[in-house]
Amino acid sequence: MFNNPRFGILPLLSATLVTSGVALLVAIPVGTIIAIYLSEFASSRVRETVKPFLELLGGVPTIVYGHFALVAVTPLLQYFFPGLPGFNMLSAGLVMGVAIVPYISSLSEDAMRAVPMAMREGAYGMGATRFQTAITVVFPAALSGILSAYILGISRAVGETMIVAVAAGGQPNLTANPAEQGQTISAYIVQVALGDLPHGSIGYQSIFAAGLSLFVLTLIFNVIGHFIRRKYREEY
């Protein structure tokens, strides 16, 4: 985008995968634990309080999450990692994971609540504890719906724009190190579409190739998830 412009999707793709990976490392474990707790251990009063709160948390504009990552999470990480730059993919990924937790936890909890009570009662009759029933009976039986929640989380992470545009930096960087700054595919589209390049130029037209690449990447994840979901649905 300067005197000798060079075009390639790999730096954008690497940043997209790194930030999505960090986000999923946060969202999947936390969202699953919350879903198991709400479905199997929480009282009806706690569930009726926490579930709407999670759904409201999912409605917070992502630009708010982006500024939170920039002004709060990044300085906190710099306290533990002094060499961390002001813009980095780690803080963007962590906050993105927090933003995805409501989607995974809500859908996973719905899938676990749909498991027939007879399966739980059968496990209790065999002497299983509530924790053993949740892990070895309810979770496998609801795995198809839980995987659907994971797939939605992956698609949400790959297509996220404002969090990474604000907190991850605007410099394309071919690296797998989340402690460095990077630019995702969606953030690149935003930057170019804001008017940094003349309309009709090769640089401007490259956003359509980037958009197509993002579409193909999301489609691949969804197709893989579809076959995995079908496999476990047939098994259980």
- What value does the mean pLDDT take over residues 129-133? 87
Residue 6's pLDDT is: 67
Identity at 66, one-letter amino acid code: G
118 belongs to a structural domain: yes
44 belongs to a structural domain: yes
90 belongs to a structural domain: yes
Predicted confidence (pLDDT) per residue in 203-231, tens digit: 778 888 888 988 888 888 888 877 877 77
Predicted confidence (pLDDT) per residue in 78-117, tens digit: 888 888 888 889 999 999 999 999 989 988 988 898 888 8
141 belongs to a structural domain: yes
Please tell me the total number of residues recorded for the chain in this structure. Answer: 236
Encoded tokens for 153? 């989380």
Structural domain that includes position 126: 10-235
Helical H segments across the chain, by residue range: 10-36, 44-57, 62-68, 74-80, 89-113, 117-125, 130-133, 139-141, 143-159, 162-167, 185-191, 202-235
5 belongs to a structural domain: no
CA separation for the pair 27, 119 (Å, rounded): 28
Identity at 133, one-letter amino acid code: T
Q: Is the pLDDT of residue 30 over 90?
A: yes
CA separation for the pair 162, 145 (Å, rounded): 28
Q: Is the pLDDT of residue 234 over 50?
A: no
Mean pLDDT of the chain: 84
21 belongs to a structural domain: yes
Q: Is the pLDDT of residue 2 over 80?
A: no
Domain count, the chain: 1
CATH number of the domain enclosing 94: 1.10.3720.10
- What value does the mean pLDDT take over residues 153-175? 84
80 belongs to a structural domain: yes
**Per-residue confidence at 3, pLDDT binned at 50, 70, 90?**
low
4 belongs to a structural domain: no
Largest pairwise CA distance in the chain: 74
Predicted confidence (pLDDT) per residue in 31-68, tens digit: 999 999 988 888 888 888 888 888 888 788 888 898 88
Encoded tokens for 120? 């739980």
In terms of Cα–Cα distance, which of 74, 68, 101 is closest to 181? 74
